[in-house]
Structure 1
Amino acid sequence: MKISAQLLEKYFKGLCTDEEAEMVAAYLEGDSTPEADEYFLQALEDTSDVPVISAPQKEVKSVRRMLPVFSTAAVLLLLLSVLAWLWTSQRRHKSVQVALLTDTIVNNTNTIRLVHMADGSKIWLNTNSSIVYNRQYNGTNRDIWLQGEAYFDVSKQVAPFRVHTASLVTTVLGTSFNISTDNRANGAIQISLVTGKVAVSHMLKGSPFRHILKPGEMIEYIEGIEPGKPHAFNNNAVLGWKNYKLVFDKTTLEDAFAMLENRYNCKITIKDTKLIKKEISGVFNSTQSIKSILETLSYVHRFSYEYGADTNHYIIRRK
């Protein structure tokens, strides 16, 4: 099926008829979408001068490990765009007014929090996660700063919807995706696309890579390292947290412990480096205690742990 750039433009602006919208949606779900890919990439080139609002200063939770952990506060900028509106009026402006007033939503409970934004977008905020947005949201911009993990279901609007995670910016329109900043021991930020389509590109001049994410694909970014090609992800493993599940699918122990740290707001240190890359699989209910999870894992994978109540710190040792 072939489709025109004009129809794609109408679709992403939300101007299609029901019949046209169904046709474009069916096209985008196909395996081969060269017209859309070309359209997305051309728009990225046209918006190379689009300004990005600076994130407010925010303390980032540190994780202590035996191996070095890379910070997500990078100098590089990764832009994920689903286009349409990006190359209209925004690209002609060289500056953006940054709101001085912001609102913060923090989920420090043991339950998942559903946030309804003014534009109709919905955000599922995982435990020990937070979002910050300025009070001009749904006006001049739709910028959100995320620390932790969240699932976004974005409504179609003309104003950009951008999620800032450290030095990365995810820009989308009318799509659903998951972003995690704390689930990898190496500090990687993971962006997983569930529906829709986004283009991925460096904003730095001379950057060689540019990708199109399709539903079911994930890209991971580590500070100072060019991302590899998008790859498939386990939907249950990435989105299980929305159903209060911790899903490990050939997950290394260091990554599993990073997930537990984020979920239970604790510190876990692995003393034996031989355990770090050991892979585990299994499903746990995230409402159960971390001690019960560690008991199960320690029995199966032969490690012991000590707990310091004064520091909320678990020490893992090989048996």
Structure 2
Amino acid sequence: MKKYFENYLKNSCSEKDFKSFVELFSIKKNQLILEQQMEENWESIPVSGETPDLSNTLYKIHYEINKQEKGSGKSAVLLTYLTRIAAILLLPLAVAFYFQLQKDNQPGDVLQTISTPLASKTSFVLPDGSKVWLNSGSSIRFPQEFAGDERLVQLTGEAYFDVQKGEKPFRVKTALFTVDVLGTAFNVMAYDHEIPAVTLERGKVTLETKSKKQVALLPGQQAVVDTVAHEITLAQVETKLFSSWINNQLILKDEPLKEVITRLERWYNIEINVVDESLLEKRMTANIEFESIREVMELMEITLSVHYEYDKNLRRLEILKADN
């Protein structure tokens, strides 16, 4: 088996070898051997710097595979095996394409950027020991070392921070505001064209907008930034509704369909179009974890009295009023 695996990685296996390789690892008991050989190969590769934790990405790959629509017959079974093996063996390629560590030479600093595609998440540790969870369609930029008088990171999208206490202030800078903290856990949502918000789970943070409006948050509070009036609104919230995504859960509690759609598009990397705009004010409550998009839409049909049409090839979904 080891020979097949090595030849596969070197791209030197014949069609016959590849077929044997697939047949060997289609057997469930051989999965452990494959994982051990992958680990040996991974440990033999020299690495430098911090490496993102890709467990959430692997979770997502497995999740999508398990939710593939079931075919029938021997060919469908073989396709499932091939897909499972490809998901494991091609993970390094996914890392190369989607979690790019880009180094840019700037005066006194070496900066790197970590980005996540839609329908994927990752977590990693910053140079100061602070932990970051990066949500889908997001990117974060930070120095290789926090050498100045602050620990500054730049965020586009959404991230959850568990900040290590330190003498230097920790700052999260977005396009519209900056969050200052010494040691705490909080969620920052700053996607383009969406209402930005900061939700504090523990500790204390200060938020300051580009127009110099400032507010301090206490645990359990959320600050919503009005990008038109440049005002900040504080409210008491259930913090788990805004941080559950780090545990691969999407919790919706009486949310307008308009906001639900935006979150589902990112969660599943799918385009959703609501044909009748009057449906956008309908509200939805759900706890999504391992469900496929079809299962979510079937739930929506029952609870919201809507109808949906799904084009799997285009990954496009339409929501319509249910027929009376």
Report TM bin, short chain: 0.5 to 0.7
CA deviations 1:52-99 (Å, max 9, x no partner) are xxxxxxxxxxxxxxxxxxxxxxxxxxxxxxxxxxxxxxxxxxxxx866
> 1:255 — aligned with what?
259
Say whether residues 1:294 and 2:297 are aligned partners.
yes
Say whether residues 1:305 and 2:314 are aligned partners.
no
Tell me, in whole angstroms, the C-alpha distance in 1 between the residues paired with 2:107 and 2:200: 28
Q: Quick one: which of 233, 244, 248 aligns to 1:244?
A: 248
Q: Which runs of 5+ in 1 are unaligned?
A: 1-96
> 2:200 — aligned with what?
193
Instruction: Evaluate the alpha carbon distance shift between residue 312 and residue 225 of structure 1 in structure 2; reply closer, same or farther with a 3 A threshold.
Output: farther
Q: Read off the aligned partner of 1:236 and give its amino acid letter.
A: K
> 1:172 — aligned with what?
181
Tell me, in whole angstroms, the C-alpha distance in 1 between the residues paired with 2:316 and 2:140: 26
CA positional deviation for 1:253: 0.6
Tell me, in whole angstroms, the C-alpha distance in 1 between the residues paired with 2:107 and 2:269: 32
Say whether residues 1:212 and 2:231 are aligned partners.
no
CA deviations 1:134-187 (Å, max 9, x no partner) are 33x4112422222332110111223332222222221211111001234x9x71
Say whether residues 1:145 and 2:154 are aligned partners.
yes
CA contact (8 A) 2:116 2:137 kept: yes
CA positional deviation for 1:311: 4.0
Q: Read off the aligned partner of 1:161 and give its amino acid letter.
A: F
CA deviations 1:199-233 (Å, max 9, x no partner) are 334453xx6x5422110000111322233431011
Q: For the aligned residues, what is the CA RMSD?
A: 2.5
% of aligned pairs identical? 28
TM-score (norm. length: structure 1): 0.61
CA positional deviation for 1:100: 6.7
CA contact (8 A) 2:152 2:171 kept: yes
Q: Read off the aligned partner of 1:257 and give its amino acid letter.
A: I
CA deviations 1:19-75 (Å, max 9, x no partner) are xxxxxxxxxxxxxxxxxxxxxxxxxxxxxxxxxxxxxxxxxxxxxxxxxxxxxxxxx
Tell me, in whole angstroms, the C-alpha distance in 2 between the residues paired with 1:293 and 1:103: 37
CA positional deviation for 1:293: 0.8
CA deviations 1:110-138 (Å, max 9, x no partner) are 56422111101001122333222233x41
Q: Read off the aligned partner of 2:283 and give its amino acid letter.
A: E
Say whether residues 1:283 and 2:287 are aligned partners.
yes
Say whether residues 1:126 and 2:130 are aligned partners.
no
Q: Which has the higher helix share?
A: 2
> 1:71 — aligned with what?
none
CA positional deviation for 1:190: 1.3
Q: Which has the larger radius of gyration?
A: 2
CA contact (8 A) 1:107 1:126 kept: yes
CA contact (8 A) 1:99 1:134 kept: no
Q: Mean Cα displacement is larger for which, 253-262 or 144-153?
A: 144-153
Residue 280 of structure 1 aligns to a residue whose secondary structure is strand
Tell me, in whole angstroms, the C-alpha distance in 2 between the residues paired with 1:145 and 1:210: 19
Tell me, in whole angstroms, the C-alpha distance in 2 between the residues paired with 1:262 and 1:98: 36
Tell me, in whole angstroms, the C-alpha distance in 2 between the residues paired with 1:231 and 1:99: 40
Tell me, in whole angstroms, the C-alpha distance in 2 between the residues paired with 1:201 and 1:147: 16
Residue 140 of structure 2 aligns to a residue whose secondary structure is strand
Q: Read off the aligned partner of 2:143 and give its amino acid letter.
A: N
Q: Quick one: which of 104, 108, 112 aligns to 1:103?
A: 112
Tell me, in whole angstroms, the C-alpha distance in 2 between the residues paired with 1:223 and 1:249: 24
Instruction: Evaluate the alpha carbon distance shift between residue 300 and residue 203 of structure 1 in structure 2; reply closer, same or farther with a 3 A threshold.
Output: closer
Q: Read off the aligned partner of 2:196 and give its amino acid letter.
A: I
Tell me, in whole angstroms, the C-alpha distance in 2 between the residues paired with 1:313 and 1:103: 34
Aligned pair count? Answer: 216
Tell me, in whole angstroms, the C-alpha distance in 2 between the residues paired with 1:130 and 1:300: 35
Q: Which runs of 5+ in 2 are unaligned?
A: 1-105
CA contact (8 A) 2:155 2:172 kept: yes
Q: Which has the higher contact order (CA 8 A, sep 6+)?
A: 1
TM-score (norm. length: structure 2): 0.60
Tell me, in whole angstroms, the C-alpha distance in 2 between the residues paired with 1:306 and 1:101: 48
